[in-house]
Amino acid sequence: MKIKALLISLLILSTSVLFIPQSQAAGKGWRYWGYFQAAPGATKWTAAMTGPTVDIADGAVEGWSFVFGADDIPSLAPAVKPSFAKICAGVKGDTDTKRIGLVIEFGSKAWAPKGESPKKTITTCVRTAKTSQGIDVLGQVTKIRAASSGLICGLGGYPAKECGVEIPTPKSLIKTK
């Protein structure tokens, strides 16, 4: 039951509208790792409706973005466009593996944990086994810290300790009239 509640919460966070309504502007939200995907040939990110334990096709692009979100705020997709052709340029395919583009964006200083600074965006092409899932691709590039529920808490040591904590809406995101 806890897993179902967690999945519903993540679904709400990852599929909400693209702005901060006035009524929510001074509220609270969560900072967490948002997960996005772009199928082969896609030019836009889609919020992942499942966790990263799903199969991904050769030519897909996986995206992770450390975001601030509330009930009416989406996971902000990585700013880097999911262009497999650009990300995997020069990485030749073969019959034994698949190639997956990967973007890891560490978010804004506005919602970074106190005393921490976002790292530089990682954009790379991963050659992996045909049976690899999203979590395998991610693990080939960076260290993953996850909660017992499966929620991704940290990538590459960022954030250092917390996991999906609730915080006040960052001042830079509050809209004024």
Segments making up each domain of the chain, as ranges: 2-171
Q: What is the pLDDT of residue 49?
A: 82
d(CA 151, CA 85): 30
Q: What is the pLDDT of residue 102?
A: 98
d(CA 62, CA 149): 21
Other C-beta atoms closer than 10 Å to the C-beta of 52 total 22
Q: What is the pLDDT of residue 171?
A: 85
Amino acid at 44: K
d(CA 128, CA 136): 8
d(CA 33, CA 106): 9
Q: What is the pLDDT of residue 71?
A: 54
CB–CB of 136/129 below 8 Å? yes
Sequence-distant (6+) residues with CB within 8 A of 13 are: 30, 32, 34, 69, 71, 73, 74, 75
Stretch (H or E) spanning 14: helix 2-14
Tell me the β-bridge partners of 146.
152
d(CA 167, CA 69): 10
d(CA 76, CA 29): 13
Amino acid at 147: A
Per-residue pLDDT of the chain (177 residues; tens, 9 = 90+): 444 334 334 433 443 333 334 434 458 899 999 999 999 999 999 988 888 999 999 999 999 999 998 754 456 899 999 999 999 999 998 999 999 999 999 999 999 999 999 999 999 999 999 999 999 999 999 999 999 999 999 999 999 999 999 999 888 877 766
d(CA 41, CA 19): 27
